[in-house]
Structure 1
Amino acid sequence: MEATRVSQPSVTARPAGSSLRNPLALRDFRLLWIGQSASSLGDQFMMIALPWFVLQLTGDPLALGITLALQGIPRALFMLLGGAITDRVPSRTVMLVSDLIRLAITALMAVLMFAGQVQMWMLYAGALIFGLVSGFFTPAATAIVPRLVDKENLQAANGIFQGSAQLSVFVGPLLAGGLIALFSNGASADAPATFTGITLCVIVDALSFLASVLTLWMMRSQPLPCASEPAKGVRSVLASIREGLGSVWRDPMLRMILVLIAGMSLLFTGPLLVGIPVLANERLPEGAAAYGLLMSGYAGGNILGYLLSSTLRTRRVGIIGPLLMAIFGVAAVLFGLSASTWLDVAVLVLLGAGTGYLAIIFITWLQTHTPEDMLGRMMSLVLFFVNGLVPVSQALSGAIIKLSLSGLFVGAGASMLLLSLCAGANRQVRALEL
């Protein structure tokens, strides 16, 4: 079917005033939300089951590292290509094909686990294919929302979409861990635990992909804006990627937003993923329990931030953005100097709420200020910066922690304050509006 250019998504006009109810009144967005909420929950089951299975199967942390790397690196590398494809093929089609492939992989993995026939090379191959497919799926999933929802309801729609995903992050690991533990009772050196609980987690993930496939299938095809030239072939796709990169580089505001997103990812991802477990282990008396509280606090704050972004609409992105970044900096310094579990939890709730809110308004600004035929490439570029900087931030955090745990958070907070001051001092940034 040939794509047709459109200026706005084909949706019914709604009264002014964004609310949680408005986007969900749109049939296609409601189907997308239901399917992706189920899929996000299933992803959390797999995120717990796969590492646990690899460790139970091999007892080798290196094997786990290789498995995760085979999944994570291709996902980051192929996002730019996925964004270019998304600007040529309807996002729904890209998502549907991607989820059909992932459904097949997870179903096959569940069958092999049930039969006790899994070998590590199979897991490596599955992780690699998963990573490649996710590189195409993720930009499409991000670009489809503004093609389903009118501009007035876009911020609320993003809040609902991201909030549901974060709720899955909050709930999913608890359910998956409980399911695995349920079938591990009574395990010992003489009678090791079976893989029943892990297999059930994989089945849950497969069923969640099935739910996503069904809801995507039920959606009506969305019109896709055409590129200026109907280019074909590998060279045209590469040229499309270069066009997207060039477009961002020539636009000072897009460039600035991406720099801010990259800076926040670099400064906060490593300290959160590497620093928090070390801090809980070395400084807080509750140990592992404190670690769980801290991560739950951050995830809960994220959910609050997403909900607030759906109900409290702001136009002055250029004012609220640098202000929130400054608050993040102060909070990070307090977190690094505190030895109180509950103060640390409170700080992480604040950080989670602020980052969740800021993420939605930044994403909404990018979606509303990017030409429709560039949406896939733009969102893939954002995701490339965020995902690509994760290992860099983790490596730097691990090195700094060896010198000083407090120094990691104080340094990250001070750097965030400096970044917020630079952003706030820029007249063009201050003028940013939704």
Structure 2
Amino acid sequence: MSSSFSPDEFTPAAGEAQAPETPVAASETGVKSAATKPSTAKQAVGGLLRPFKVLNFSLLFGGQTISVIGNALYTVALPWLILNNGGSAQELGIVLAAYGIPRMGCMLMGGWLADRLRPRRVMLIADIVRAVLVGLLALLALQGHPTLWQLCAIAVPLGALGGAFMPASMSILPDILNDDDLQGGNALNMSSMQGANLLGSAVAGVIVAIFTAGVGLLIDAATFVISAVSLALMRMKSSAPGNKREAGAASAASPDEAQAQEAPVSFLSFLRSSQLIHVVLLIAVAGGFCLGGLIEVALPAFVHGPMHGSASDYGIILAGASAGALVGGIFAGMLGKLKYKGLTMLGSGLLVAVSFGLLPFAGVLGAAVCMLIGGLTNSITNVLLFTKIQLIVPRHLLGRMMGLITFGSFGMYPVSAALMGVLSNQFGPALLFPCSGLLLALVMLLAMTQKSLRES
């Protein structure tokens, strides 16, 4: 991978280039290809599952899937713990803020740490400390009624570690997979998160209802331990698999070019010079701004108000998004041989905008279908986008870049939620869906004007 931005970074990797063909009769070539070429569907499925041949990926996949199920337990158990012990909604909001603010604030620091310490080490430290913190919270819950200050004292470092963990988890794949398998690995990770969230949310309610919130938190702590063990079992090489391609390119270049490729570029220098990163940051900020408050504030307000729907209707609509995201993640992993991935990514982003824009005009089932399409196309966009970032950003800058991107997206959430709440009261929630969809569509169309991204 080149250490500076150039259009060449969007061409197929050297490892993907075909070897020169030897002179063979056309008929002989046709017979051989017909006899040996596997079906397109088989190739696609094989490309999606190929990362499992790497032991480190299998360990990462299994540990993180279990950890996401534990996160769903925490999401259900914490509010139930507070509200069931005489706490108010205001106290719940204070605890969630004590978690959310450090989480967002530590994303940039987490990216820097991932580049300095390597992603696996940051993830391992974060999981070990979070296991201790959630275990302590579980013991407090099992012994009695935790006070507000105790809950906040645990929530603050828990949120900070969660924020540091995120960019590290998004930048670890290039350390364990080669470039050809990155898209499949990203797709599998995204699909596992969606599936684990669906399963975890269903199981969490049952566990907390049958037992107690403390038991749910104790299980969550155990999932952090499992995740930490899976990370500890990984054996990392001194150089990432993708670096073999860079080494080969450097050896084939002239002395001046080789020296330029080996010279490490600074984070600010790369950030200033990379047009693609500018577009990616714009997409991340627009996505967080347009969709964050729309889903969390405007959607429930719309279902409860103008749609006159019930809580079950709201659940059905949200389930459509989760199901679509799960299918979209799997499908994106089967697009490894797609020629114009950049255009597909941006086209999927446009479909996200259209599906959310049409949602208030479709009824309950129609809204669920819109959310399903939106979840599916959003997963495709995210998988292709993250894979492209992992391929073009120099390896020593990837953690900080992922930290900046996640900060840009998540940082828009509180602004979006507050603005959507105000606008919903003033103009009604229905109007916010086509307006947000239009804004997101304009950003995607603007991104399409970048030839290097469109034709990548």
- What TM-score, normalized by structure 1, do the two folds share? 0.85
- Which of 158, 163, 178 is matched with 1:130 structurally? 158
Contact 1:302 1:354 in 2 (8 A): yes
Contact 1:90 1:222 in 2 (8 A): no
3-state SS in 2 of match to 1:59: coil
Structure 1, residues 216-236: CA drift from partner, whole Å, max 9, x if none? 11111343689xxxxxxxxxx
Matching of residues 347-386 of structure 1 within 5 Å: 347-386=370-409
Structure 1, residues 279-307: CA drift from partner, whole Å, max 9, x if none? 22124454100111011110111101100
Match of 1:231 in 2: none
> 1: CA distance between counterparts of 2:89 and 2:272?
41
1:420 matched to 2:435: no
> 2: CA distance between counterparts of 1:326 and 1:162?
20
Matching of residues 62-141 of structure 1 within 5 Å: 62-141=90-169
Match of 2:352 in 1: 328
Structure 1, residues 382-419: CA drift from partner, whole Å, max 9, x if none? 11112111111111111111122111101111212222
Contact 2:342 2:384 in 1 (8 A): no
Match of 1:275 in 2: 298
> 1: CA distance between counterparts of 2:355 and 2:164?
36
Matching of residues 242-321 of structure 1 within 5 Å: 243-313=266-336, 314-321=338-345
Match of 1:5 in 2: none
Say if 1:317 and 1:257 are closer, same or farther in 2 by CA, change over 3 A: farther
- The percent of aligned pairs where both chains have the same amino acid is 28
Instruction: State which structure, 1 or 2, has the greater radius of gyration over its C-alpha atoms.
Output: 2
Say if 1:206 and 1:23 are closer, same or farther in 2 by CA, change over 3 A: same
- Which of 223, 237, 254 is matched with 2:238 structurally? 223
3-state SS in 2 of match to 1:406: coil
Structure 1, residues 25-62: CA drift from partner, whole Å, max 9, x if none? 11011001111110011001001111222222343222
Contact 1:324 1:358 in 2 (8 A): yes
Match of 1:341 in 2: 364
Q: Across the two proteins, how many residue pairs are aligned to each other?
A: 389
Equivalent residue letter for 1:115 = Q
1:173 matched to 2:196: no
Q: Give the drift of 1:427.
A: 3.0
Match of 1:38 in 2: 66
3-state SS in 2 of match to 1:22: helix
- RMSD over aligned CA atoms reads 2.0
Match of 2:422 in 1: 399
Match of 1:4 in 2: none
1:156 matched to 2:184: yes
3-state SS in 2 of match to 1:384: helix
Contact 1:400 1:407 in 2 (8 A): no
Unaligned runs of 5+ in 1: 1-14, 183-195, 227-241
3-state SS in 2 of match to 1:87: helix
1:56 matched to 2:84: yes
> 2: CA distance between counterparts of 1:305 and 1:36?
19
Match of 2:212 in 1: 197
Q: Give the drift of 1:421.
A: 2.2
Contact 2:281 2:405 in 1 (8 A): yes
Equivalent residue letter for 1:346 = V
Equivalent residue letter for 2:279 = M
Contact 2:346 2:381 in 1 (8 A): no
Match of 2:222 in 1: 207
Say if 1:428 and 1:152 are closer, same or farther in 2 by CA, change over 3 A: closer
Say if 1:283 and 1:168 are closer, same or farther in 2 by CA, change over 3 A: farther
- Which of 66, 70, 75 is matched with 1:47 structurally? 75
- What TM-score, normalized by structure 2, do the two folds share? 0.81
Q: Which runs of 4+ in 1 moved over 6 A?
A: none
> 1: CA distance between counterparts of 2:47 and 2:310?
40
Contact 2:286 2:409 in 1 (8 A): no
3-state SS in 2 of match to 1:405: coil
